[in-house]
């Protein structure tokens, strides 16, 4: 995969899946009562955690599938279905259960730190983002392609750091309506990506349909 438009497409897809803007209300709720320094620390650790999770997905994702004997076609279908469902959930204005369950949200209220769980995973770098990175790592060619994916991971993590660092001002400027509009647009993108992954997976599993 040498076309840089494909890498741009991956970047947009991962950004939509991580959705730092949608995580802002959750971040504000989870860090309520913390000092400014503590909130900055949570945002810093969360952004680093997102980068690490995505990079690990690039490096060990495909070998792990091979170890369990899972074909890329089947994984594309499963990942596509997951991304599609997350996109539909975002278009309806709420966080998909694949990102956060009610029990996880309740448990987070009693944790001293929420930087890694549940904020980094599963709210931002959840199953959808991990699946997309694994599929993308299969598409790219050689070490150069994987290094580009690592770079994409850092770019997305940087946007997470900026969004969480400026969570208060962004929330006040956009309000719930503005954040929901952005989430719905990202949801539409995700739904399109999910359908494309599903179709590609079906063609891989059933070549005669191609």
- In the predicted structure, residue 59 carries a pLDDT above the cut 90: yes
- In the predicted structure, residue 47 carries a pLDDT above the cut 90: yes
What is the torsional sign of CA 44, 179, 105, 188?
negative
CB within 8 A of 172, min separation 6: which ones? none
- In the predicted structure, residue 44 carries a pLDDT above the cut 80: yes
**What confidence category does residue 210 fall into, taking pLDDT thresholds of 50, 70 and 90?**
low
Packed helices 142-165 and 127-139: angle between N→C axes, nearest 10 degrees: 150
135-147 confidence digits (pLDDT tens): 999 888 788 999 9
């Amino acid at each position: 995969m040498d076309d840089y438009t494909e890498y741009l497409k991956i970047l947009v897809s991962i950004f939509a899946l991580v959705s730092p803007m949608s995580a802002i209300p959750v971040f504000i709720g989870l860090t309520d009562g913390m000092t400014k320094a503590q909130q900055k620390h949570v945002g810093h650790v969360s952004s680093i955690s997102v980068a690490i999770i995505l990079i690990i997905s690039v490096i060990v994702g495909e070998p792990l599938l091979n170890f369990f004997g899972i074909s890329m076609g089947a994984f594309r279908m499963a990942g596509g279905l997951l991304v599609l469902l997350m996109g539909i959930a975002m278009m309806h204005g709420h966080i998909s259960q694949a990102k956060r369950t009610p029990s996880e949200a309740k448990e987070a209220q009693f944790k001293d730190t929420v930087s890694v769980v549940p904020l980094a995973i599963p709210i931002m770098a959840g199953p959808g983002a991990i699946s997309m990175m694994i599929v993308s790592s299969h598409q790219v060619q050689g070490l150069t392609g994987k290094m580009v994916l690592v770079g994409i991971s850092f770019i997305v993590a940087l946007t997470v750091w900026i969004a969480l660092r400026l969570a208060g001002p962004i929330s006040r400027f956009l309000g719930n309506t503005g954040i929901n509009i952005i989430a719905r647009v990202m949801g539409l993108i995700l739904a399109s990506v999910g359908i494309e992954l599903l179709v590609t997976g079906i063609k891989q599993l059933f070549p005669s349909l191609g």
